[in-house]
Structure 1
């Protein structure tokens, strides 16, 4: 048995009929150069032969009675791949708009809990453009957020696809013998053992929180930089409204080379800063056109993978997260990117000290489930200011072409779950020199949401112009403020060393 982390379990507790908590993907394949395009039957055989590379595809949830603890992943002794697949033929209506409409409807349906938490719809008859003949197909994929995060989801898809145009031989599936499901008595005993560990977990978390907070206070006093946001201080926005079950997927593409040129012109910023700056400029323009208040800066929650430094398991959520000021009150989009970079640096101590999967350990599973339910039923999001306005995730994807039995992956769209008070999520994914910016939104909560994609091109052009014309003096001053060592840095480092030694003595 493998137990879900508190962060993984929280996505189960937040789920309802109107807020399904799965991550989605739409993958478009070009099969026009194949003599025999991939059929649904051959796709099923191929997928069956690859199930061994993704163990979670054959694992279901095992709940603990009375929610005394978090659920476990156990082998599904009744696993049947047919329960996770569907076939749709678009016939002569295989256009991009029809495909995204179909995907939006599919994404509205929660995954069933009595089986492994994934589903794939094979869409036949898809046309890559209006002029092309049938010669493409698409996959609409749903994977529950309790099982993966955006970063591990991209890794799973890469494992299922191929890196060469020559189709991999489809072998019979490897023998698989599911381990028997644990008895109720064993599950209860394990839950009791885990409860005994809770005080030690709380002590460890409290020490880390004290270390992070103390460092932040010292940093504020010495450097006179703003502290990271107190909770529920983000401004109200058109995105922070109660959501319904309706979903809409809006996407657009930009060349990565343009973003890299902006990065080079601006100096000491990252490509992720440029992506966040592009999203910030687009959101500002959208809010301006909607007549929304733009006098206060939007706050984004930016998930960051810690998978590379924490190889505990191949799936699940291994994320840290920070609240990031998008500096939307700064009129110059080039200087805004520098401000975003600086705000990210300010939040760094908090991101490193307390990962998102540890914050949820403050509450046992029963209280976490109850609080998630009450958050929605009592409409907390409507009564108080939000903790942040929207999540923005930037996922680096492969820059080489991927294939599925000889058919080339030409485009992918990605979706993320919404919940009450968060009507918009942005997921940016790069692939083969292109960055696809995906807006998942609730059309009943976000007015004129379909216009969001139209702001991207104008926003990028404005950023390019500002980056090319921004004064060297302004850039140099901004870089000096962010990077120049000061006496405060030396004092801070000395105090930090003393603090770590004191905390080390407190650790059991």
Structure 2
């Protein structure tokens, strides 16, 4: 059995009815070139033959009694692929808008914990919009829990399941699979005790589970006494940082990757990721302007950084660092803003040397991290004070060669990310085959008029292209007065100080 890391486990404990913590994907396939439509039964047989390439598809959670430790991944001896699949037919005239609406509803539902944490819906009977006319297609709506993967590993998994050639792979019988025996309750309990001897702070997990109300009261009392590090709460108030509901919506649009690369070449000393962040920043600034909302300072993004490498690679799980990044929305020139974003990024330590997020989560049990996050919501810190950040933005490089599923070509993909209380908007940018797709996962009860976002993205790109052509070589390099702060280092420093100096007061 393999134990979840503190970071992975925290995504389990953060989950609630209104905050499902899974990553979603909508994959559209062009089936017009197939001699026969791809039947659902064929897809099931294909997936059975590929299960061995993704072990987590047959692993479930093994909880430890009383939450004395983090859960384990164990083989699911009762695994049945049928419990993870669904079939929907939209009818002959199903359109892409119908698919996105269906996906939004499906992605609102949390994954069931009594089985491996994934689900795929096969959607048949709709037509893909294409410049040459509508084409027959099908789609996959995929849910994978954030406790098992991050956005980067999610792309790797889909790359393993799909094919790189239009010639369909022969569907072979599934490889024999002998699940390892599930550990007994006694063994799990003994292992948890051994782990607690190594990490005494895990005892706090028991206190949290046994007396949640008391623990909440203690932490709330201490929060009022503790001087919070102000650099952590300097993001401006925005409409994105309000209490969310269970409703979800996905809004997506695509732009040519070549246009972004041309902007990068024009600005010379920036990265493609800086250009993507600049495009997001301009789009958000225009959205706020349309809503007649002014912010006193620039928006702050939380940008995950993958720390996956040949020397640090796990089969699944989250291997990320994160930094707070000033999006320089106070800068009126959208091209000069990209240069400022680049400087803001390179001045942050994780840009030079990524720091694993586990460094933070190892200091506190995941149950207390989840409790702290929920208190952040329940105490309405983001509303009463300034929020920690305004919006997460993840840029995931995807394959630039076409992918196929039994001869049907993947033509488009949309991705969603979990929302969190006081966090009503998340942006995931994914590139595939010369296109960059910006995916806005949002709570429609928090982010109003979201239909305008695609148009704002295209208007922003045109504005950036025009500004980049006219930008002087020194514009955007001037000293920027607003200080930059790295979330990982700031939070680590604060938590370490709290543990050293304030833990005694907390225990009393």
- TM class by smaller structure: 0.7 to 0.9
Q: What does 1:97-496 align with in structure 2 at a 5 Å threshold?
A: 97-129=97-129, 132=133, 135-198=136-199, 230-308=231-309, 310-348=311-349, 352=353, 354-474=355-475
In structure 2, C-alpha distance between the alignment counterparts of 1:431 and 1:350, rounded to whole Å: 24
Unaligned stretches of 5+ in structure 2? Answer: 203-228, 481-508
Tell which deviates more after alignment, 341-350 or 46-55: 341-350
Shift of 1:19: 0.6
Shift of 1:472: 2.5
Shift of 1:382: 3.1
Contact 1:317–1:357, Cα closer than 8 Å, also in 2: no
Shift of 1:349: 5.1
Shift of 1:126: 1.8
> Against the structure 1 CA distance between its residues 460 and 413, is the aligned structure 2 distance closer, same or farther, given a 3 Å change threshold?
same
> Against the structure 1 CA distance between its residues 373 and 298, is the aligned structure 2 distance closer, same or farther, given a 3 Å change threshold?
closer
Residues 366-416 of structure 1: CA deviation (Å, up to 9, x unaligned): 423433443444444333321110100000000000000000000000000
Shift of 1:307: 0.8
In structure 1, C-alpha distance between the alignment counterparts of 2:403 and 2:367, rounded to whole Å: 43
Aligned position for 1:37: 37
In structure 2, C-alpha distance between the alignment counterparts of 1:141 and 1:349, rounded to whole Å: 31
Query: Is 1:92 aligned with 2:82?
Result: no
Contact 2:8–2:146, Cα closer than 8 Å, also in 1: yes
Aligned position for 2:496: none
Contact 2:258–2:434, Cα closer than 8 Å, also in 1: yes
Residues 104-153 of structure 1: CA deviation (Å, up to 9, x unaligned): 00000000000000000000012012885662100000000000000000
> Against the structure 1 CA distance between its residues 367 and 200, is the aligned structure 2 distance closer, same or farther, given a 3 Å change threshold?
closer
Contact 1:67–1:365, Cα closer than 8 Å, also in 2: no
How many residues are matched?
A: 453
Residues 149-193 of structure 1: CA deviation (Å, up to 9, x unaligned): 000000000000000000000000000011111111111221122
Please provide the CA RMSD for this pair: 2.0
Aligned position for 1:58: 58
In structure 2, C-alpha distance between the alignment counterparts of 1:474 and 1:271, rounded to whole Å: 18
In structure 2, C-alpha distance between the alignment counterparts of 1:371 and 1:264, rounded to whole Å: 43
> Against the structure 1 CA distance between its residues 229 and 310, is the aligned structure 2 distance closer, same or farther, given a 3 Å change threshold?
farther
Residues 168-225 of structure 1: CA deviation (Å, up to 9, x unaligned): 0000000001111111111122112222333799xxxxxxxxxxxxxxxxxxxxxxxx
Dislocated runs of 4+, deviation >6 Å:
none
In structure 2, C-alpha distance between the alignment counterparts of 1:469 and 1:47, rounded to whole Å: 52
Residues 274-322 of structure 1: CA deviation (Å, up to 9, x unaligned): 0000000000000011111233100000001111254331211000110
Shift of 1:232: 1.7
Tell which deviates more after alignment, 140-149 or 444-453: 444-453
In structure 2, C-alpha distance between the alignment counterparts of 1:333 and 1:448, rounded to whole Å: 23
What TM-score results when the alignment is normalised by the length of structure 1? 0.86
> Against the structure 1 CA distance between its residues 412 and 358, is the aligned structure 2 distance closer, same or farther, given a 3 Å change threshold?
same
In structure 1, C-alpha distance between the alignment counterparts of 2:399 and 2:83, rounded to whole Å: 30
In structure 1, C-alpha distance between the alignment counterparts of 2:366 and 2:21, rounded to whole Å: 17
In structure 1, C-alpha distance between the alignment counterparts of 2:119 and 2:178, rounded to whole Å: 22
Shift of 1:42: 0.2
Shift of 1:451: 1.4
Secondary structure of the equivalent of 2:36? coil
Contact 1:252–1:437, Cα closer than 8 Å, also in 2: yes
> Against the structure 1 CA distance between its residues 92 and 349, is the aligned structure 2 distance closer, same or farther, given a 3 Å change threshold?
closer
> Against the structure 1 CA distance between its residues 391 and 85, is the aligned structure 2 distance closer, same or farther, given a 3 Å change threshold?
same
> Against the structure 1 CA distance between its residues 265 and 132, is the aligned structure 2 distance closer, same or farther, given a 3 Å change threshold?
closer
Unaligned stretches of 5+ in structure 1? Answer: 202-227, 483-508
Residues 222-258 of structure 1: CA deviation (Å, up to 9, x unaligned): xxxxxx9821221110100101000010000100000
In structure 2, C-alpha distance between the alignment counterparts of 1:185 and 1:177, rounded to whole Å: 23
In structure 1, C-alpha distance between the alignment counterparts of 2:199 and 2:353, rounded to whole Å: 22
In structure 2, C-alpha distance between the alignment counterparts of 1:446 and 1:452, rounded to whole Å: 10
Secondary structure of the equivalent of 2:37? coil
Residues 452-497 of structure 1: CA deviation (Å, up to 9, x unaligned): 121011101111111111112436x56xx89xxxxxxxxxxxxxxx
Aligned position for 2:207: none
In structure 1, C-alpha distance between the alignment counterparts of 2:343 and 2:293, rounded to whole Å: 26
> Against the structure 1 CA distance between its residues 366 and 399, is the aligned structure 2 distance closer, same or farther, given a 3 Å change threshold?
closer
